[in-house]
Structure 1
Amino acid sequence: MGTQFKTRLQRRMLLGSVLILALPCVHAASHGASIEVWKDPNCGCCKDWVTHLEKSGFTVKVNQNGNDVVRERLGMPRQLGSCHTAVVGGYVIEGHVPANDIKRLLKEKPAALGLSVPGMPVGSPGMDGAFYGGRKDAYDVLLVAKDGSSRIFQGYR
């Protein structure tokens, strides 16, 4: 076996070992993803949605204003709007999107602008407090394409 072949083999074995050791870190990082949120400072449901994200393992940075401006700047169609806008992993998250759907988005990595739950459906995360008496309206989480079109990503009935 030549010296050059041994060196190449050693490098590949070292790289393989590093990748195997890094897998748990990559897995942990995907579950502790950092998400930045823009919301109205007086909105209680936005605060409850942020709490939902934190309980689901996300690290959240909250901006107390700028939701409409950020939504427009990021290209989320106005008709898909809600009371808060967020960014995570290069995706736009609009409204009361469940944390599990955000995790799925980050795992599957579709070519898309992001996810939206238009309006403020009762029973969605942040809109599910005691005030609503356990009511749950049907709603859809939409996968929004970069051209503004959308399709159902996950339905809740």
Structure 2
Amino acid sequence: MNKKIMGVGALGTLGAIAVAAYLFYGQEVVATEVTLYKNPQCGCCESYADYLRENGFTVTVKPTHDLVPMSKKAGIPEDYQGCHLSVIDDYVVSGHVPINTVNKLLSEKPDIKGVTLPGMPTGSPGMGGPKTGSFIIYQISDDQPTMYSTE
């Protein structure tokens, strides 16, 4: 009997966490698989992979020397490329994109190729140092990248 009560209690707690996350973030928290392509020597990319893991994603890291051509093939112009390229569901996520924007992308499911935070901004997830201003995250489509969100 006590095992049943404990099991029901645990399920209730998990349900309460999911409801709280939905109410707080405005979206359901769902664990998703990510493939992250990075330069073999890049440590900040590993830190970003850890950041995604801490936020419920299952991440497979694949070292490559072909990030620029892979990013171009994904539709990301060179001036808008981040230092690594992730594939999440049917989207590409380039660079150190904050989790709120990743979750927004996955919950809204816009008709775009993905999002990018160009370069390696100080204070972004996986990068060291203090955040010095807003991050502008761009959406990638068939046209020139345009702003998707700011954080």
Shorter-chain TM band: 0.7 to 0.9
Distance in 2 of aligned mates of 1:137 and 1:64 = 30
Question: What is the one-letter code of the residue matched to 2:63?
Answer: Q
Distance in 2 of aligned mates of 1:53 and 1:33 = 10
2:131 aligned with 1:136, yes or no?
yes
Distance in 2 of aligned mates of 1:64 and 1:74 = 17
Counterpart contact for 1:38–1:62, Cα < 8 Å: yes
**How far apart are 1:86 and its partner, in Å?**
1.0
**Greater CA deviation, 142-151 or 90-99?**
142-151
Counterpart contact for 1:85–1:94, Cα < 8 Å: yes
Counterpart contact for 1:36–1:86, Cα < 8 Å: yes
Q: Which runs of 5+ in 1 are unaligned?
A: 1-23
Higher helix share: 1
Counterpart contact for 1:76–1:113, Cα < 8 Å: no
**How far apart are 1:82 and its partner, in Å?**
1.6
**How far apart are 1:101 and its partner, in Å?**
1.2
Deviation by residue 1:40-77 (Cα, 9 ceiling, x = unmatched): 11111111100000000011111111322211221111
Distance in 1 of aligned mates of 2:98 and 2:124 = 7
2:32 aligned with 1:33, yes or no?
yes
2:109 aligned with 1:79, yes or no?
no
2:122 aligned with 1:122, yes or no?
yes
Q: Which runs of 5+ in 2 are unaligned?
A: 1-17, 23-27
Distance in 2 of aligned mates of 1:98 and 1:77 = 20
Counterpart contact for 1:37–1:86, Cα < 8 Å: yes
TM-score, scaled to structure 1: 0.72
Relative to 1, partners in 2 of residues 1:147 and 1:30: Cα closer, same or farther, differing over 3 Å? farther
**How far apart are 1:148 and its partner, in Å?**
3.3
2:141 aligned with 1:145, yes or no?
yes
**How far apart are 1:31 and its partner, in Å?**
1.7
Question: What is the one-letter code of the residue matched to 1:62?
Answer: V
Classify the secondary structure of the residue corresponding to 1:119.
Answer: coil
TM-score, scaled to structure 2: 0.75
- The runs of at least 4 consecutive aligned structure 1 residues that moved more than 3 Å come to none
Query: Which is higher, the Rg of structure 1 or of structure 2?
Result: 1
Distance in 1 of aligned mates of 2:138 and 2:79 = 12
Question: What is the one-letter code of the residue matched to 1:31?
Answer: V
Relative to 1, partners in 2 of residues 1:30 and 1:88: Cα closer, same or farther, differing over 3 Å? farther
Distance in 1 of aligned mates of 2:81 and 2:62 = 17
Distance in 2 of aligned mates of 1:76 and 1:142 = 10
